[in-house]
Structure 1
Amino acid sequence: MIEAVGLTKRYGPKTAVQDLSFSVRPGIVTGFLGPNGAGKSTTMRMLLGLDTPSAGHATVNGRRYAEHAAPLREVGAMLEARAIHTGRSAFNHLLALAATHGIARSRVEQVIDLVGLREVARRRAGGFSLGMGQRLGIASALLGDPATLILDEPVNGLDPEGILWIRNLLKSLAAEGRTVLVSSHLMSEMALTAEHLIVIGRGRLIADTSVAEFTASASRGGVLVRTPDAVRLAELLGALPQVTVRTDAQDPHRLEVEGADGERIGRLAAEHALVLFELTPQQASLEEAFMELTKDAVEYEAVVTPRALVEEHAA
C-alpha cells in the first residue's frame, strides 16, 4: 500500500506539489493522471525517496522507501525506462541489479521471458528500440517480485500487442493482491486498465475516485434515442416537465433527451406504440471527463491559430 500525507515540494519560488494526500490500495490498478506540469513525476520521485519533500511524507508498505532493507523486493519502479547502461546487454543489466539484492540468476531468466526479451537478451541495450527499452524497464521493476509497482508511462513505444500485454500483466498483478500505481497520458488505455484514479492538477488533488464515478461526474446524464417516430416522440417528451429534447438535422431519427432516463422514455414509447431503434444512456469517456475536470489546471496550453492566418503569414 502507498500512502502520501501532505506531500509538498518547492523548487525555489515554484511549488510543484502542494499538500497532496492519497492512498493507493492493493488489489486494483490505480491510474495516476494529470496534465503536463501537474506534478506527477515529482510526486512519484517523492514516493521513491528520489526527491525530499518540502513538507509531508510518503510510505510504501508502511515505511519510507529508504527504510526498506531490500527496496527492490518491496517496490518495483520504472520512472525512466532508458535509465540503463547502454553498453550492457539486457541480461547483464538485470543481473547487475539482481546482485545488489541477492536475487537469484534464475529470477533474471524468468523476467526476461515474462517481458518477451529472450531473443535480444544478449544484445546491448543501447541499440534497443523504444518498445524494447520499455520492456526492459518493466523487467527491472518486476525483478524483485515486489508487492508494489510504480510505473510511469509503461506503454510508451509499445505496439498494439505490447499494449495488450502490459494491460493484462498489470491487471493480473493487481489480482494477486499487489499495489499497482500507473501514470499515463493515454486516457483510452487507462479506461481499460485502471479501476481507480488519482487525478492532480497544478500539484493539487483534483479527484480520488473510481473510474466509473469520475466519468459519471462529467456526464450530462442524457439519453440517445433513435426511432422512426422521432417527431411524435419528441412531442410527447417535450410535454413532460423538466425534459429537454434536441433533434439532429442530419439524422431525422435521432434525439438527445435530458431529464428522463431510458426506462421512462421506453415506457412512454411503448404506451404510444412507437418503435425504438436505440436507447443509450450518454456517458462521458474518460478522456472527456479528464479534459472537463482538468481544464482549469492546464499549465501549458496551446494556442490554435486559424488556418487563414497561417496561410496569410506564410504568404
Structure 2
Amino acid sequence: MIKANGLTKRYGDKTVVNHLTFTVEPGAVTGFLGPNGAGKSTTMRMILGLDAPTAGHVTVGDRAYAAHPAPLHEVGALLEARAVHPGRSAHHHLMALAHTHGIARSRVAHVLDLTGLTDVAGDRVKGFSLGMGQRLGIAAALLGDPATVILDEPVNGLDPEGVLWIRNLLKSLAAEGRTVFVSSHLMSEMALTAERLIIIGRGRLLAETTVADFVRDSGVAAMKVVSPEAGRLAQLLAGPGVEITPGANTGTNTGTSPDELDVRGVDGEYIGRIAAAHGVPVYELTPRTASLEQAFMDLTRDEVEYQAGSATHNAVTETATATGAAA
C-alpha cells in the first residue's frame, strides 16, 4: 500500500505538489491522472525517494522507500525508460540490477521472456526502439518480483499488441494482490485498465475514486439529437450552461436530411419540450454515456496550464448564429 500524507514539493516560490493526501491500495490497478504540469512525475519521484518533499511524507508498505533493506523486492518502478547505459545489452543491464539484490539469473531470463525481449537480450540498448526500451524498463521494474509496481506512462511507444500486453499484465499483477500505480495521458487506455483513480491538477488532489463512480457522477453525459432542422434546434437550445457540438453523422443540412447534435447541460425531456413547442421534428433523442475522457476534461478544465481555443465549438456557434439570422 502507498500512503501519501500532506505531500508537498516547492521549487523556490513555485508549488509543484500541494498537500497531497491519498492511498493506493493493493488488489487493483490505480490510474494516476492529471494534465501536463499537474505534478504526477514529481509525486512519483517523491514516493521513490528521488525528490525530498518540502512537507508531508509518503510510505510504501508502511515505511519510506529508502528504509526498505531490499527495495527491488518491495517496489518495482519505471519512471524513465531511457535511464539505461546504451552500451549494455538488455541481459547485462538486468543482470547488473540483479547482482545488487542477489536475484537469480533465472529470474532475469523470466522477465526477458515476460516482456518479449528474449530474442534481443544480447543486443545493445542504444539500438532499441522506444517501445523496446519501455519493455526493458518494465522488465527491470518486475525483476525483484515486487509487491508494489509504479509505472509512469508505460504504454508510451508501444504498438497495439504491446498496449494490449501491458493492459493484461497490469490487471494480472493486481489480481495477484499487488499494488499497481500507473500514470498515463491515454484516457481510453485507463478506462480499460484501471479500477481506481487518483486525479490531480496544479499539484492538488481533485478526485480519489473508482472509474465507474467518476464517470457516473461526472455530469457530462450528452444527449444525441437527430433532426432535419438541427441548426434551428441548436439556436433554440443555446443558453448558459448548454454546450452543443456536431454529432458523428453531421453533414450538410439541407433542411430535409437529418443532422446530429451532441447536447450537454440539458436533459432529454427539456430538449423534447423545446422541439415540440417550436414544431421542430426530432428523429432520435438518445442519452450518451459519458466517457472517462469527457469526465476528466470537465474536471480538469480549469487546471490546464495552456488553454487552446476550440475551432469546433466556434464553428458550431457560427453555424447556429447564421441559421438564426437567416430565419
| Counterparts of residues 228-307 of structure 1 (less than 5 Å) | 252=258, 259=267, 281-302=287-308
Identify the residue that residue 45 of structure 1 maps to in structure 2.
Answer: 45
User: After the TM superposition, which residues 169-208 of structure 1 pair with which residues of structure 2 at under 5 Å, given as runs?
Assistant: 169-208=169-208
CA contact (8 A) 1:222 1:260 kept: no
User: Which deviations, in whole Å up to 9, do the C-alpha atoms of 1:141-180 show, x marking residues without a partner?
Assistant: 0000001000000001100000000000000100111000
In 2: Cα distance, 1:20 partner to 1:160 partner = 34
Equivalence for 2:70: 70
**3-state DSSP class of the match of 2:217?**
helix
Which position in structure 1 is the counterpart of 2:94? Answer: 94
Contact 2:268–2:287 (CA under 8 A) maintained in structure 1: no
Residue 106 of structure 1 aligns to which amino acid in structure 2? S
Other-structure match for 1:120: 120
- 2:105 paired residue number: 105
Contact 2:222/2:287, CA 8 A, preserved across alignment? yes
Q: In structure 2, how many angstroms separate the alpha carbons of the residues matched to 1:50 and 1:188?
A: 30
**Ranges in structure 2 where 5+ consecutive residues have no aligned partner:** 228-249, 273-282, 313-327
Which SS does the other structure have where 2:49 is aligned?
coil
Letter in structure 2 aligned against 1:164: L
| Cα shift readout 1:26-49 (whole Å, capped 9, x = no counterpart) | 111000011111000000000001
| Distance in 2 of aligned mates of 1:253 and 1:36 | 36
Query: Match of 2:135?
Result: 135
Say which SS state the counterpart of residue 301 (structure 1) adopts: coil
Q: What residue number does 2:232 align with?
A: none
Separation in 2, partners of 1:26, 1:52: 25
CA gap of 1:259–1:295, structure 2 versus 1, over 3 A, is closer
| Partner AA of 1:285 in structure 2 | S
AA matched with 2:189 = E
Conserved in 2, the CA contact under 8 Å of 1:33 and 1:198? Answer: yes
Compute the displacement of 1:304 (Å): 7.2
For each residue in 1:240-295, what CA deviation from the matched residue of structure 2 results, as whole angstroms up to 9, or x when unmatched?
xxxxxxxx99564979895469xxx9xxxxxxxxxxx9885422111111111101
The letter for the 1-side match of 2:106 is S
| 2:208 paired with 1:211 | no
Name the residue aligned to 2:245.
Answer: none
CA distance in 2, matches of 1:278, 1:195: 33
How far is the alpha carbon of 1:216 from its aligned partner? 2.2
- The alpha-carbon deviation at position 301 of structure 1 amounts to 3.1
Change in 2 beyond 3 A, CA 1:255/1:119: closer
Instruction: For residue 23 of structure 1, give the secondary structure of its aligned residue in structure 2.
Output: strand
Name the SS for the 2:162 alignment partner. helix
CA apart distance, 1:217 = 2.9
Contact between 2:5 and 2:21, CA under 8 Å: does it hold in 1? yes
Q: Residues 135-174 of structure 1 correspond to what in structure 2 (within 5 A)?
A: 135-174=135-174
The structural deviation recorded for 1:117 is: 0.2
CA–CA distance in 1 between the matches of 2:76 and 2:63? 15
Question: 1:36 touches 1:300 (CA, 8 Å); kept in 2?
Answer: no
Aligned residues: 280
SS of the equivalent of 1:6 reads strand
Q: CA deviation at 1:218?
A: 2.7
Identity of aligned residues (%): 69
Deviation at 1:126, TM superposition (A): 1.1
Give the match's secondary structure for 1:218. Answer: coil
Equivalent position amino acid for 2:146 in 1: P
Alignment CA distance shift 1:73-1:224 (3 Å): same
Question: For the residues of structure 1 that align with 2:93 and 2:303, how far apart are their CA atoms?
Answer: 39
**1:219 partner SS:** coil
2:7 and 2:20 in contact (8 A); partners too: yes
Give distance in 1, aligned partners of 2:94 and 2:292: 36
Mapped to 1, the partners of 2:48 and 2:260 lie a distance apart of 52
CA distance in 2 between partners of 1:147 and 1:280 (Å): 45
Distance in 2 separating the partners of 1:32 and 1:90: 28
CA shift, 1:222, in A, is 5.6
Does the Cα contact within 8 Å between 2:130 and 2:158 map onto a contact in 1?
Answer: yes
User: What's the TM-score once normalised by structure 1's chain length?
Assistant: 0.81
For 1:22 and 1:76, the matched residues in 2 are separated by: 20
Query: Over aligned residues, Cα RMSD in angstroms?
Result: 3.0
Does 152-161 or 207-216 show the bigger shift?
207-216
3-state DSSP of counterpart to 1:180: strand
